[in-house]
Structure 1
């Protein structure tokens, strides 16, 4: 009897997406899967992938996946998946496989048969049923061992013999699912063709890289050695280390050096990059939107704020003196390129091609943005194309525009001559207030290179209770106060200029400003110093009588002191009678408004 234990949860139809999701989570703690939450995955296929693809923190296979070399990891699985293997199973089939002296790498045997068929038998291929009966179900294959030529002859000379159902026990009992899960792993590969029921090799679109992987599989004859003295946990780690992919190999089968930095030009890259500019009134929730709609909590990012003194050198990088001390205590000064946030995130995104990276620029129009970007301005007009005409057939992600900068190129690419492009997995997101106090305006040529998005100034259901939080000891909620003020600002009968920009943002303040933890003078001042001062000094600077009782309170000092010292709803006595009535839901008698 032959025994097999294998997962029933390989999810091979989305195997590439699953590999990338697990690798991202291991490397960065970042979960990004198109259809499954982390909890769902961990209750299903996630641990399966950890074991069978040798994935753990620091594993070589993780880095291969994240640099677009997932096909190497899949090739290693085909080459090395064997029975027995120490994956935990409820029926302890691992022990039965060891006792049975089985030693079979079924997918490796299949690929060798396919190559034999391609070279010597007109590529007639192997049917799924033949794989099931003659590779998985035959004693001579699974236990005794048989040459590939003899096995091929045995398959074709005595077809339709059902060895599997006679000879095989599968942990879990579903033999068809076991077979389909094994075969499903090879479906995404370009060098395997499954036509109806027949499996063949295909060299139609095969790359040099895949030729190397295929050559490695068909020339490999080793097995993971069972060490019965080890615990199951140590056995599993031993197998996961064994399943690691080797260094890259070329078609001749000779090892070559690990790919250099510039080879990231030729790997698969996540096509997710964008230039997006979020604009709206101060406090509308622009930064909140970035964190909750554009990024995940652990997404790699660089965040900076533009201001009038911010320069191109701050943004991109500059040559700075560095003091070094030798072993004798002598100090000397060298000058070295120190990267800015743009160059830092550019390198991170370039060398981690399947992970979306973010450059967040807050207050982008408070600095001279065109001057800060300099020649990088040209790269913002990016159009990503995929060039499949190169010799290796790799996708080559190029931009319509590129620039030269030897310092940046050497830092990012390790080559001063390398042209600089914004990679397709780097998103640049800026925020801009529409207030008339901005230091610089953004010209049309700059703005057209961004996807503009207005962040509407409205309360949302997921604001963590901010909207319905009451102002200090009053009966008025922040939402009531904010919308009442904004309605007055937008009222066409109110004499204001640039009124839309003067509105209170829904996130203009924090809950801690509305309900401070302390009761001393400092805490009592949080709300009036931020909100009341803004209304007096800015929004209604020239029309204070529209909302304030200026007859009684003719200075900001009196307004704030009265607000602080008053109890409950008397705090709103600083306002005009009409606004106070609105805030407190009092009826306003026609003709009595001031």
Structure 2
């Protein structure tokens, strides 16, 4: 079986009009497909339509991975679980004839690019090209050269999972019989095309979380803990970075800035240049130093099949309007998760992007990297504690671009706190969580805002897990200070018992005597005797410390 005159016809057009020579023996199959407007990619116009549908006999020319869950059971989650990425060679003469210098070939006549192949419509069709997170950028530019009613030619190499791709403009083919053509010339069933693991890509994991979210709540509600748990579960360790905002944190730290660096001067021979006294000569040069956002953004643009995350602790402790600057405009995301709008880049940032993204084309960035946006695989999550003093307010426009997730003061697993106990007097102890909840009731009765109440992790988990002596010290020093100097400063007489709060040191002394009786109405919760435990655990020694805790606390 050999190719018909249709191959010769296409071959003659390629040679005559595009100065591209091909040989029949190099191929074992080819397709000709006239593309409609819906199959074309229009430059600078965002569209959900990005594929080329292949049906019928033309499907035999391309491999795809069968998914029973998707094709037979219609499980949409399995739609792009596996995608085959096949190499397609595009030719300089073919592309230059259509649009000169649109694709940068440099000194090469042929570029090998990537095209995705995957099933759709219950397996009754396959689709070529995956615009988002799939095809190489030069292949997408190749597709942008195709105008409605032009012809796409894909020729499969003999026994190889590799194709040559050509465009023939509509004006060179006038016969309708070329609208949809497929020919296969497989000499024998021993001619096998092997699909190797390098041809298969795993699509980026799609996350169900918002791209920008802020965890907020009272002190100690586990905001950082919950954010970090979700980061570890959904991102690899090299995919997320953490930063803490503070009042002196600025745009140059977060995004990037031009900074001076000393550089040692060298001679034409590469030797270090020295003055007459033998001192090394230096000069000052300026380089663009990226901040955490720019570093993560570059990773996301280079690796569109991976997700990246920026974690911001205490986002409202800095002036966010100054820190984000023009990046604020990029926080508006479209339905795909990309920035709705682009921003113009500065000259120094353009040069940095050119250096970091060499060989990577992205139509939204522009050929000269004059524009910038946040891609759908970049996430920004933050924590915020509005109860802290001296924090910066977030304006309404900024907040509107984030999803807020409240961490309640009692949003916890009660069983996790059953064993966290501290000393309330010389011989008795109580549960930290019971104590905290009763204290919150009293604060609420004084109309203290919820974001100033005591969360279960107000005392960090590392301290809660320590022995009773260390935990008691921390509760006395940290909790009492917070109550006395901050949250209940204006309500001391209403919260604390008469004669027990004249000074902070006086309050600490009364706490050592009886931690339940320092309040106006004594806290009534379950208490346990320490001595009875000592009789059960005479060999452990830990209870020895508990008996002498009053002395230990004052050391």
TM-score, normalised with respect to structure 2: 0.54
User: How many Å separate the matches in 2 of 1:553 and 1:123?
Assistant: 86
Q: Residue in 1 aligned with 2:454?
A: 504
Any residues of structure 2 matched to 1:145-160 within 5 Å, and which? Answer: none
Cα distance in 2 for residues equivalent to 1:185 and 1:422: 25
Q: Determine the structure 1 residue equivalent to 2:422.
A: 471
Higher percent of residues as helix: 1
2:309–2:379 contact (8 Å) kept in structure 1: yes
Of 285, 291, 305 in structure 1, the residue corresponding to residue 228 of structure 2 is 291
Query: In structure 2, what is the Cα distance between the partners aligned to 1:380 and 1:126?
Result: 41
The answer to whether the 8 Å contact 2:212/2:380 transfers is yes
If each structure's strand is expressed as a fraction of its own residues, which one has the higher value? 2
Once residues 544 and 280 of structure 1 are traced to their aligned partners in structure 2, the CA distance between those partners, rounded to angstroms, is 24
Q: Give matches, 1:310-459, under 5 Å.
A: 310-325=249-264, 326=266, 327-328=271-272, 329-384=280-335, 399-414=340-355, 417-435=369-387, 437-459=389-411
Residues 104-143 of structure 1, C-alpha deviations (whole Å, 9 max, x = no match): xxxxxxxx7765999xxx986899xxx9xxxxxxxxxxxx
Unpaired runs of at least 5, structure 2: 1-26, 34-54, 64-80, 87-115, 144-151, 163-194, 273-279, 356-366, 529-555
**Structure 2 residue aligned with 1:513:** 463
Note if contact 1:324-1:331 (Cα within 8 Å) is conserved in structure 2.
yes
Tell me what 1:581 maps to.
Answer: 524
Whole-Å separation in 2 of the counterparts to 1:398 and 1:507: 36
Conservation of the 8 A alpha-carbon contact between 1:343 and 1:412: no
Change (3 A) 1:384 1:218: farther
Residue matched to 2:478: 530
TM-score (norm 1): 0.51
Residue 499 and residue 333 in structure 1: after superposition, are their counterparts in 2 closer, same or farther (change >3 A)? same
Q: Which runs of 5+ in 1 are unaligned?
A: 1-111, 132-183, 223-241, 247-266, 387-396, 586-594
**Superposed displacement of residue 438, structure 1:** 4.3
Contact 2:256/2:290 (<8 A) preserved: yes
How far, CA to CA, are the matches of 1:305 and 1:314 in structure 2?
11
Measured in 1, the distance between the counterparts of 2:217 and 2:405 equals: 9
Residue number in structure 2 paired with 1:556: 504
Q: State whether structure 2 residue 248 is matched by structure 1 residue 309.
A: yes
- Residue 556 of structure 1 and its aligned partner are, at CA, apart by 0.9
- Shift in CA distance, 472/418, structure 1 to aligned 2, threshold 3 Å: farther
Alpha-carbon distance change, 553 to 436 in structure 1, aligned in 2, over 3 angstroms: closer
* Matches of 1:218 and 1:338, distance apart in 2: 49
Specify the SS of the correspondent of 1:428: strand
Describe how 1:236-315 pairs up with structure 2 within 5 A: 243=196, 245=198, 272=207, 274-296=211-233, 298-299=236-237, 300-315=239-254
* Rounded Cα–Cα distance in structure 2 between residues aligned with 1:367 and 1:542: 27
Q: 1:416 to 1:298 in 2, by over 3 A?
A: same
Offset of residue 503 of structure 1 = 0.4
Secondary structure, in 3 states, of the residue corresponding to 2:220? Answer: coil
2: CA distance, partners of 1:442 / 1:245: 47
In the alignment, the residues of structure 2 paired with residue 354 and residue 196 of structure 1 have an alpha-carbon distance, to the nearest angstrom, of 25
- Relative to structure 1, the CA distance from residue 526 to residue 436 in structure 2 (aligned partners, 3 Å threshold; closer, same or farther) is closer
Q: Please say which of residues 502-511 and 325-334 is displaced more in the overlay.
A: 325-334
Deviations 1:181-228 (A, max 9, x none): xxx99999976889999x999889999689999746436499xxxxxx
Structure 1 residue 468, shift from structure 2 partner: 4.1
> SS of the residue aligned with 2:221?
coil
How far apart are 1:268 and its partner, in Å? 7.7
Shift of 1:412: 3.9
Partner Cα separation in structure 1 for residue 432 and residue 407 of structure 2? 19
